[in-house]
Amino acid sequence: MTYNNEQLSDYLNSLVPQRPAEMREMEAYAKENEFPIIGPAAGYFCYLSARLIGAKRIFELGSGYGYSTAWFARAVQENGGGEVFHTVWDDELSTRARRHLGAMGYGNIVRYQVSEAVAALRETDGPFDLIFNDIDKNGYPESLDVIEQKLRSGGVLIIDNMLWSGRVYDVREQDSSTRAIRETTRRLTGSPNWISSVIPIRDGLIVAYRQ
């Protein structure tokens, strides 16, 4: 028997426990407007990762309208409280995120910043327990030095879109975004400072442990 990526994605999403109505609304908006959120299975994996390490300080590089933030905020809340930094360029996305996350009771956890994400991380006091990276793919390689400085030893880095719809393993694909993802993957998997693995959920997450 064979399966395709859509079948696998549907199956993995079906295993995620029921989300609050506000999160289901965010998922429906993404589907209707073709907005690229990480989706239920990847979101639940991010939540699980944050719970496993007891994360209390999380920084998101690129947060959209707060879907991934909601998963991280839930983990931080269940870990006893802390901070999740939601960072986007766009005022409208920040406003939408405030509405959704406030409705879910995360107003005392989330810190909102409208800024270029890597610059915001550079200017924010660390260390962080977990950093999530979902910025423009061309910016992935240059973000690593800042991330390494701000993430504590024993902390976790999660980066989205590391399979890039299969383009990363198609040698014919040589656009700048694909090359940037390949470079980021090579740097993390080849560095003695990181223990890394690519998880083939949705469009691929790389999970890296900071030594």
Mean pLDDT across 34-61? 97
CA distance 27 to 32: 9
Local structure of 60: helix, strand or coil: strand
Q: Percentage of residues in the chain with pLDDT exceeding 70?
A: 98
Local structure of 130: helix, strand or coil: strand
> Which amino acid makes up residue 186?
R
Query: Is residue 210 scored above 60 in pLDDT?
Result: yes
Query: Is residue 39 scored above 70 in pLDDT?
Result: yes
Say what the pTM is: 0.96
The pLDDT assigned to 6 comes to 86
The pLDDT assigned to 4 comes to 66
What is the per-residue pLDDT across 136-180, written as a single tens digit (0 to 9) for each?
999 999 999 999 999 999 999 999 999 999 999 999 999 999 999
What is the per-residue pLDDT across 109-140, written as a single tens digit (0 to 9) for each?
999 999 999 999 999 999 999 999 999 999 99
Say if CB 39 and CB 13 are below 8 A apart: yes
Query: Is residue 1 scored above 90 in pLDDT?
Result: no
Task: Give the CATH number, domain containing residue 89.
Answer: 3.40.50.150
165-172 long-range contacts (CB < 8 A, ≥24 apart) are 165/203, 168/204
How many domains does the structure of the chain reveal?
Answer: 1
What is the per-residue pLDDT across 11-24, written as a single tens digit (0 to 9) for each?
999 999 999 999 99
The pLDDT assigned to 174 comes to 97
Q: Where are the alpha helices (DSSP H) in the chain?
A: 5-14, 21-33, 39-52, 67-78, 91-103, 117-123, 140-150, 176-190
pLDDT confidence band for 5 (50 / 70 / 90):
confident
CA distance 90 to 164: 24
Query: Is residue 3 scored above 90 in pLDDT?
Result: no
Q: What is the DSSP letter of 168?
A: G
* CB-CB neighbours of 137 under 10 Å: 21
Question: Where in the sequence is the domain holding 181, given as residue range(s)?
Answer: 5-210
CA 126 vs CA 129, 131, 177: distances in Å: 9, 11, 28
